[in-house]
Amino acid sequence: MAASAYTTSSDSASSAKLLFRQLFEKESSTYTYLLADVAHPDRPALLIDPVDKMVDRDISLVEELGLKLIYAMNTHVHADHVTGTGLIKTKLPGVKSIISKASNSKADRLIEAGEKIHFGDLFLEVRATPGHTLGCVTYVTGDGPNQPQPRMAFTGDALLIRGCGRTDFQGGSSHQLYKSVHSQIFTLPKNTLIYPAHDYKGFSVSTVGEEMLYNPRLTKDEETFQNIMENLKLSYPKMIDIAVPANMVCGLQDLSERPVESVSN
Amino acid sequence: MAASAYTTSSDSASSAKLLFRQLFEKESSTYTYLLADVAHPDRPALLIDPVDKMVDRDISLVEELGLKLIYAMNTHVHADHVTGTGLIKTKLPGVKSIISKASNSKADRLIEAGEKIHFGDLFLEVRATPGHTLGCVTYVTGDGPNQPQPRMAFTGDALLIRGCGRTDFQGGSSHQLYKSVHSQIFTLPKNTLIYPAHDYKGFSVSTVGEEMLYNPRLTKDEETFQNIMENLKLSYPKMIDIAVPANMVCGLQDLSERPVESVSN
């Protein structure tokens, strides 16, 4: 059964066909994204930013949709939740974890700007978008024949809907974030869909054009932006001391000491 | 700026073009849907199942996207939150509220099965899907040239992702719900996208085909289904005594006694 929530505009039988699902974790308001090439006989799939406690839901869905998960990847080292990439690997051997080389973390594949991540006949491009953390990347669907139209950008915490990630931890830099968004995201076509790692107001998607017009921070000049970011007066992230070290090793730093069951809860 | 999150497969200039946004309210896990015909010069739009406390967010988005909201509509009389339809009407005069005639509620337009709700060159069809309440309807995007493909069904609480609404209040009937889903929703094309009024596990969309295979309740025979529904042992809905009377008059039963500001908070 081809259950496609987002199809490309071509209706020729040989065209690539994207299955796309947006998934939500309420406690940390985190979005996880499932993408698969359901026109390919293997139905290869990837998960972006899975959350440890939602791994059973995500794997069930992958199985029900008849997909073959090949990658479990992160946009960056999260500070507010533990990634599900390591747990997924224990439950579905063969899945490879992906994170940026610049994050200084461990994963099966360490990616850099300009690389392509293929799943079937579809692919994601890697864009370096540091500033929230030093290793943040944005994954963008390919620009080419049979790739999804409009394009989709998975921006992590670099660009949120009408917002952006904080810049006061993990090698963050408001100067770098401003540059990243303006040079790597706002240069995409205006109808590119923005799918962030979080939303706290119930928005699910935006576009490059919308954020260029209405983002209350990134529409400002750089000096004003830096001023905003330096005066947010946010509290210390309550999960950071647990999440960051865990997320630098796919969420499973204690696996040798604890049974898998206790890690997953 | 045409910010389209969901476009039809035709790329001819004269084709209809749907802008679609899914919005979430965390406390009651309610989805609100914004649909607009952005190929029509007026960019007419409608909101399905808006929540009172999120009305300012919804109106801001409508304005930023340059849309003209014409309808604020409900799938049914909700028991878990107060509808935003009345508040929207006070803030955007000219908007018409819609609910089913069978709900015995007040609204500007009372719809029945088979009716079409037009916005620009797009339309929704009304299907009667009682069982969660006696007045539940499902709104389905049109079947015709230049209408969105795949079709989209806004099922309210009749069909949830891997679930369904309870049937023990508001004229509910497990017999009727079973019949509604099987005759009115499972008869749609299998790739029809299911957009429910709620999700409690972080799913955002499903398809008719998926629910026909994996819905843990509605894949059962009717007797088993009725047995499941009669033994859910759910607690009394905490908002029901406030929400239901309010929602029978577009959420504003106290408007004559209280200033608008206090109603909106």
Distance CA B15, CA B148 (A): 10
pLDDT of residue B203: 98
Rounded to whole angstroms, how far apart are CA atoms B157 and B178? 13
Whether A1 has a pLDDT exceeding 80, the answer reads no
In angstroms, rounded to a whole number, what is the distance separating the alpha carbons of residues B123 and B115?
10
From CA B102, how far away is CA B117, in angstroms rounded?
A: 17
A95 pLDDT more than 90: yes
Q: How far is CA B51 from CA A150, B5, B255, in A?
A: 30, 21, 16
Best A4, A7, A24 member to test B by mutation, with max B CBs in 10 Å, is A24
Q: Find the Cα–Cα–Cα–Cα dihedral A255, A260, A262, A265, rounded to 10°.
A: 110
Q: Is the pLDDT of residue B130 over 90?
A: yes
Residues of B in contact with A26 (CB under 8 A): 26, 29, 202
Stronger pLDDT, A265 or A16, i.e. the higher one: A16
Tell me, letter by letter, the H, E, C secondary structure of B168-222.
Answer: CCCCCCHHHHHHHHHHHHCCCCCCCEEEECECCCCECCEEHHHHHHHCCCCCCCH
Q: Average pLDDT, whole number, for chain B? A: 91
A225-233: average pLDDT: 97
Candidates B14, B2, B4; CA nearest to B146 is B14
**What token pair was written down for B194?**
């299911």
ipTM value: 0.90
Q: Encode pLDDT of B50-95 as tens digits.
A: 999 999 999 999 999 999 999 999 999 999 999 999 999 999 999 9
- Positive or negative, the Cα torsion across B7, B8, B9, B14? negative
Fill in the amino acid letter for B232.
L
Closest residue in B to A189 (Cα) is B3
Whether A210 sits inside 8 A of B65 (CB atoms) is yes
Rounded Cα gap, residues A85 and B34, in angstroms:
33
Q: Report chain A residues whose CB lies below 8 A from the CB of B193.
A: 5
Least Cα separation, residue B41 to chain A (angstroms): 19
* pLDDT at residue A256, rounded to an integer: 53
3-state secondary structure of A250: coil
Which is higher by pLDDT, A7 or B150? B150
For chain A, state the CA radius of gyration: 18
At residue B256, the pLDDT reads 53
Q: What is the pLDDT at residue B197?
A: 98
CB-CB neighbors (< 8 A) of B33 in chain A: none
Confirm or reject contact between B12 and chain A (CB < 8 A): no
Nearest to A7 among B3, B9, B10 (CB): B9
Question: Chain centroid to CA A163: how far?
Answer: 16
Q: Please list, in sequence order, all residues whose beta carbon lies within 8 angstroms of the beta carbon of residue B24, skipping any fewer than 6 positions away.
A: A24, A199, A202, A203, A204, B30, B31, B32
Q: Answer whether B219 touches A (CB < 8 Å).
A: no
**Location of structure tokens 């719809």:** B111
Proportion of chain A above pLDDT 90, given as a percent: 87
Contacts of B64 in chain A (CB under 8 A): 210, 213-214
B9 touches chain A (CB under 8 A): yes
In this prediction, what percent of chain B has a pLDDT beyond 90? Answer: 87
Distance from CA of B214 to the nearest CA of A (A): 8
CB A177 within 8 A of CB A229: yes
pTM: 0.91
Rounded Cα distance between A89 and A96, Å, is: 7
**CA dihedral for A77, A54, A117, A107, sign (positive or negative):** positive
Q: Is A193 on the interface with B (CB under 8 A)?
A: yes
Check if the beta carbon of residue B22 is closer than 8 Å to that of residue B195: yes
Give per-residue pLDDT as tens, B132-161.
999 999 999 999 889 999 999 999 999 999
A252, β-bridge pairs? none
CB pairs under 8 A between A and B: 95
B241 CA to chain A: closest CA distance, Å?
Answer: 26
Q: How far is the C-alpha of A192 from the C-alpha of A153, rounded, in Å? A: 7
What pLDDT, in 10s, does the model give residues B214-264?
999 999 999 999 999 999 999 998 899 999 999 999 999 765 544 444 433
Per-residue pLDDT, averaged over B118-122, amounts to 97
Residues on chain B touching A213 (C-beta within 8 angstroms): 1, 64
| Nearest partner of B125 among B137, B136, B140, judged by Cα | B140
Q: Is the pLDDT of residue A8 over 80?
A: no
B150 in contact with chain A, both atoms CB, cutoff 8 A: yes
Kindly provide the residue ranges of all beta strands, DSSP E only, lying in chain B, ordered along the sequence: 18-25, 30-37, 44-48, 68-73, 96-100, 109-111, 116-119, 122-128, 137-141, 152-156, 193-196, 206-207
For residues A108 and A253, the answer to whether their CB atoms sit within 8 Å is no
Kindly tell me if the per-residue pLDDT of B8 is higher than 50: no
Answer whether B24 sits within 8 Å of A54, measured CB to CB.
no
Contact residues, A window 13-72, toward B, CB-based 8 Å cutoff? 21-26, 29, 32, 54, 57, 61, 64-65
pLDDT at A127: 98
Higher pLDDT among residues A256 and B136, named by residue = B136
Burial class, B53, CB count within 10 angstroms (exposed 0-12 / middle 13-18 / buried 19+): middle
Q: Is A11 on the interface with B (CB under 8 A)?
A: yes
